[in-house]
Amino acid sequence: MSTIHTSAGPDLRLLVSLSAWTWRGTGPDGRELAHILIAHSPASTLSASTEAPEARMRRLADSLGGLGGAGDVVRDVGRCLHIVGHHVFLHFPGASRRVRLPSRPDWAALVASTGTAVLSLGLEPLSQSADASQLDTYLNLASATDRLLFGLARSR
């Protein structure tokens, strides 16, 4: 008898330990793009889990089918964004809950009109209270040190 093993999705503890940011940006071709950054909060690194935060974030990336690094082609991670009014939710396959993304109506409208958002997963912690300057510093440092994973998320 043979069995097929499928990996379970991220557990609820991991999902609630995530911090998220959204913003509008410009792509290389000059078109406007929706962006999402997901990182683990510094508090989540103090948990009793023996799994390192980076390993948890890489497992999260794997649950989406794998995300690429800065030098890779941006991978399509499929239809994992759900839009309900002005709210956008990110679904990780196998997870029991969706992650509600912080979104303003104009950002949600951009996701709805383009049907896509660039998804970045940070491998370093970042506090949910980080302001725009701290977010820019985080993104610049993480990009320079290849500590971001990227994918293209689509809406359903």
Does residue 42 surpass a pLDDT of 90? no
Q: What are phi and psi of 8, to 5 degrees?
A: -75, 155
**Which residues are paired to 89 by β-bridges?**
82, 100
- Position 114 in a domain: yes
Q: Which of the four pLDDT bands, split at 50, 70 and 90, describes residue 4?
A: very low
- Mean pLDDT value of segment 133-142: 96
- Position 131 in a domain: yes
- Beta strands, E only, the chain: 18-26, 32-40, 75-84, 87-90, 99-101, 116-122, 148-155
pLDDT computed for residue 91 by the predictor: 94
- Position 4 in a domain: no
- Position 91 in a domain: yes
- Position 53 in a domain: yes
- Position 67 in a domain: yes
- Mean pLDDT value of segment 104-109: 96
- Asked whether the beta carbons of 38 and 120 are under 8 A apart, the reply is yes
Does residue 11 surpass a pLDDT of 50? yes
Number of domains in the chain: 1
Write down the mean pLDDT value for the chain. Answer: 88
Q: Which two tokens stand for residue 106?
A: 């104009």
- Position 21 in a domain: yes
Q: Which of the four pLDDT bands, split at 50, 70 and 90, describes residue 15?
A: confident
Q: Which of the four pLDDT bands, split at 50, 70 and 90, describes residue 98?
A: very high
- Position 95 in a domain: yes
Domain that holds residue 71: 12-155
Q: Which of the four pLDDT bands, split at 50, 70 and 90, describes residue 10?
A: confident
- Asked whether the beta carbons of 82 and 111 are under 8 A apart, the reply is no
